[in-house]
Structure 1
Amino acid sequence: MNRRYNAYSDYLVGKYGEKVYRLPVNLPLTCPNRDGQVGEGGCTFCAEVGAGFEAFESSVSIKDQLLSNMEYIGGKYKARKFIAYFQNYTNTYADKETFRSYLEEALLENVVEIAISTRPDAISDEYLQIMKEIEQKGVAISIELGLQTVNYHTLKSINRGHTLAEFIDAAIRIKKFGFESCAHVILNLPGDDMLDVIETAKIISALGVDGVKLHSLYITKCSQMALEYERGELQISSLDEYVKRAAIFMGYLSRDVVIERLVGRAPEEDTLFCNWNTSWWKIKDMIERYMDSNDIYQGKFCDYLNGKALRRWE
């Protein structure tokens, strides 16, 4: 076990007493950045299928998706506890009663948690109250927010449809209701440099976000970025640069934040570029070796909170 960062697998064992497995759920939803509510066309890195590469079709009921995956994963790994992961598109982007019904359908035996992936501009007190009422039925609820970067110029250039302010607002509201939160971050977006990586870690820490998922930029087919990539207009950082950025990011991140993922994955047939044609676990090993060789551990540089300037009198 690598002790240089706060690994999600260790966190889950501590929380639930044993290994817990995520089961992806694909809801029949879209995104407000696609249908004109906040924007059109979606983020420039996102394809029509969204991010749910490994999920069932959304026409399959939530219960059937969960039971099928539960049977497979349970049999393969002898798993007994599961997280229903509402993964693809914006999973709070439905009317309130429809949203409530989705949550209720996931209340199955052995499902100990529902993880809801959504956008910062699709969180409100009313929807958080619905989640709180569902949580009181005996299942934990956690919320994942697609931040990607705190550089609001980059957020605009990738047509994200929200700015940093919406993420801050959502993170504060989620904490007020007592839910755990997780931020998704792309460490090598075009236009971002190491200062943006560091500031992203600092903002996440300052807001008390509970977890983070890191991944490198991959180019999905039929996305706007795919067109830019094919025209030679998009430069992707080197693998060595990504490894360095991931390590430095964790160095500036509060030790309390759980690292849920160090690198993402996408099927080869759906992408033009993904992870430098390198296995995700090899990249994970490279990041851990870089941290070892440079004596970096999570929180090493996290000295900026709680009145740094006043420490001269300590």
Structure 2
Amino acid sequence: MQRTILPYKTYSEYLKEKYKEKVYKLPVNLPITCPNRDGKLGEGGCIFCADVGAGFESLSNTVSVKEQLLQNMSYIKKKYKAEKFIAYFQNFSNTYLDTKQFASYMEDAVIDDVVEICVSTRPDCITVEHLKVLKQIKLKHGLEISIELGLQTVNYHTLKKINRGHTLAEFIDAVTAIKSFGFEICAHLILNLPWDNIEDVIENAKIVSALRVDQVKLHALYIIENTILGEMYKTGEIKITPVEEYKERVITFLEFLYPNIVVQRLIGRAPEENALFVNWNMSWWKIRDEIHGEMINENRYQGKKANYLEGKALK
């Protein structure tokens, strides 16, 4: 059976090229929070965020980093025959720690068969001292380092609406600092926030391209009970874009995204427990496959419209 070549740069192919074998991410859950949950910047967190954060598939944060990795590693080795892994510090803001504590957690992730440490955090929770810790890990143990930044949208009006606690400026600052250390960066984006339109989607692609972000991770908005967004949804204050519009937003985003940027995913899985809305009651992979099919049938591909940088007016 001939393999279909997808019209964008996939994360799985990128990892195979980089490590020459199958590599899987293993989630790690730390006992931490975020500065807009504990009162430092705000309270309640982002309006879409549940009490457990985003790591709904993670093990308990009472389990040690090493034990979480070993348990997940055992399962993935059996199921997917993978031999190399990425320690993925996923939930909440994983640099919202003093540097000594942060360094201890990072060292705990240095175990056999882990080839990379990936740290997910907020753009306003990155300091040079945290980056120095990661640089030491890289130099001492020879591990690759990547950082995932939750941006969600470049529209600063929308960022305020969702109680994000930062604006685009903090994201730009964080990217600049991380780039100076030579680490790869992945930006998280939600393409169907109720206050964003297709122009915002295009600007998302243009900004991350202009900043030379290495990877992007897309997510469709999901709505959980007992959140501010959940109440807004139940009262009709917000409406969810139809699935056809979401697919069009993803395809348009990819067309404006520079072709060298890796796409980790087009839509995410989400918790169904206590959910008011998740992926239009469709399987995430079905929506993904429909996006693939539409792009191939309509000859639309990543970078097709990425002609806006490097002296556009002179081209």
Q: TM > 0.5 between the two?
A: yes
**Are 1:123 and 2:126 an aligned pair?**
yes
The corresponding residue for 1:309 is 313
| Unpaired stretches in structure 1, ≥5 consecutive residues | none
* CA deviation profile, 1:86-122 (whole Å, cap 9, x unmatched): 0000000111100000000000000001111000000
Root mean square deviation of aligned Cα: 0.8
2:33 and 2:5 mapped to 1: Cα distance?
Answer: 38
Which of 166, 173, 177 is equivalent to 1:173? 177
Q: Does 1:82 find its partner at 2:85?
A: yes
Q: Which residue of 1 aligns with 2:114?
A: 111
Pick the aligned partner of 1:150 from 146, 150, 154: 154
Q: Give 1:184's aligned residue.
A: 188
CA distance in 2: counterparts of 1:292 and 1:96, whole angstroms: 47
Partner deviation per Cα, 1:126-163 (whole Å, 9 max, x = no partner): 11111101111211110000000000000001100000
Task: Count matched residues.
Answer: 311
Structure-1 separation of matches of 2:201 and 2:86: 29
Alignment of 1:1-314 (within 5 A): 1-136=4-139, 137-311=141-315
> Residue 267 of structure 1: CA displacement?
2.2
> The residue matched to 1:58 in structure 2 has which SS?
coil
Cα deviation, residue 294, structure 1:
2.1
- Per the alignment, in what secondary structure is the counterpart of residue 92 of structure 2? coil
Contact 2:147-2:185 at 8 Å conserved across structures: yes
Q: What is the Cα deviation at residue 221 of structure 1?
A: 2.0
1:78 offset after TM fit, Å?
1.6
1:268 partner SS: coil
Per-residue deviation, 1:3: 3.1
Identical residues among aligned pairs (%): 60
Q: Distance in 2 between matches of 1:140 and 1:150?
A: 28
Moved more, 34-43 or 21-30: 34-43
Query: 2: CA distance between counterparts of 1:213 and 1:115?
Result: 13
CA distance in 2, matches of 1:216, 1:22: 21
Q: Which runs of 4+ in 1 moved over 6 A?
A: none
What 5-or-longer segments of structure 2 have no aligned partner? none
